[in-house]
Amino acid sequence: MLRVAPRSLLTGRRPAVLVSLALALAITACGGDSTTAPNPGPSRPTLEKPPVVAPNATGRGELVSATPFPAIITRIEAGAVIAGAGGAGVFTPRYDVQGFTVRYRTPGLNGQLTEATGAVYLPVGASTALPTVAYMHGTVTARNNVPSNPFAAEGRVFGTVFGTDGHIVVMPDYLGLGGSTGVQLYLHQQTHASAAIDLMRAARTLATQRSVGVDRNRLFVTGYSQGGAVALGVLRELERNFTTEFPVRGAAGMSGPYDLSGTVRTALLLNPPYPPAVGYTALITGSMSTVYNLGALSLFVRPEAITVTNAILNGSATDAQLATLPRTPQDLLVSTFVTKIAVDTNDLFWQALVDNDVYDWKPNTPVRLYYGGADIDVPPQNALTAQGIMRARGTESVAAVNVGSTLTHGTAVVPATLATKRFLDSLFARP
């Protein structure tokens, strides 16, 4: 079955590729106007942002190593997966495909180059230059449950169906996951975008080494859940700074939290007793405090939850630790922090979230935002908000598309992926 599914934060099992932001709840209407916003405070403090590294900085995208996956994935294997998902006629397995664990150089949070990891899938035996699909994965909490791991389900399934169909597939792990050091920088768009684009550079080097032709005018960006939002962040960065090196033909976000700040605000104010929301509150709070140097974790998370929060950020949390999380998102947080952010939209925490919203800009290339109408993990309003703002900015080629009124975050995965492939095929001829 064509189903991308990382490990569950709370069970260690595989839910549907969920949660770019699991703070988005079933009862949550996403967007800044979905609830009464807090009153602005008396002044606006300055957010300390990480340094930005120039797109052409020496060493960015340098290929360090590429280790082949243990076995080539055959067209026969891919055909079984595609048929089981009802994807026959949309995906056509025409090539065997070889996956690689790739190490490459990209800017770290401090602006210095560091090594990161990702996966690249190369079709075997193609005689023509091939298009590239860059896929951004959904939320994972285990450090090695990422595309560079040959046995991680999400990357393997996506790499298989798009790779055997005749695409070079590029999938970053993101910083703090896979073989990189440090904690996960969850939903930090700047480092997600640089990690993805630098892996595209490394992938071109690898393709040349393996005598695989690259059609540099056919690049498509997509992702599911967390990866849906990351895909829009990558597209934005490509259009701003890489138009010559990486002309992009289009993008599809699938079930992504494009309005991160509005989603988090609504979820925290509603504060439902929803266990996954507590774990993702820990993840997003820990990540934002780290990225933007907001202070010690103890300023945000209650003392009894600091150990498990750090374990979640490190990708090492056990089921026993996760079982100790409190009942609601606010129960995880220091009460003075909750009180402050409830009344002050100038708080640095809100500024950090707004800095990672990805809907308020004008794409120059076609965009589709696919979602399930019954999604209770990333509410459909994310796609509708993004469509509305982008069209208001003058973009006519952006469309939010409901792939099924009864589809949830899990059951929308296959229909959204098939719709994404049809959209991709409409933008450039099949290889």
Helix residue ranges, H only, 210-225: none
- Report which DSSP code applies to 303: G
Closest CA to 235 of 398, 60, 426, 53: 398
Contact 407, 373 (CB under 8 A): yes
* Residues ≥6 apart with Cβ < 8 Å to 56: none
* Residues ≥6 apart with Cβ < 8 Å to 346: 40, 41, 43, 44, 45
Q: Element (H or E) spanning 100, and its range?
A: strand 97-107
CA–CA separation, 106 vs 102, rounded Å? 12
* Residues ≥6 apart with Cβ < 8 Å to 28: 34, 263, 266, 267, 270, 379
Give the model's pLDDT for residue 266: 77
Give the homologous superfamily in CATH for domain 63-258+357-427.
Answer: Alpha/Beta hydrolase fold, catalytic domain (3.40.50.1820)
Contact 43, 177 (CB under 8 A): no
C-alpha torsion sign, points 251, 232, 186, 13:
negative
Give the model's pLDDT for residue 40: 55
Give the model's pLDDT for residue 430: 60
Give the model's pLDDT for residue 294: 96
**Which burial class, exposed, middle or buried, applies to 404 when counting CB atoms under 10 A from its CB (0-12, 13-18, 19+)?**
middle
Q: Using 70 as the pLDDT threshold, list the residues of the chain that sit under it.
A: 1-43, 430-431
Q: What is the DSSP string of 356-406?
A: T---SS--SS-EEEEE-TT-SSS-THHHHHHHHHHHHTT--SEEEEES-TT
Give the start-to-end residue ranges of the domains of the chain.
63-258+357-427
Give the model's pLDDT for residue 403: 98
How many of the other CB atoms lie within 10 Å of CB of 318?
11
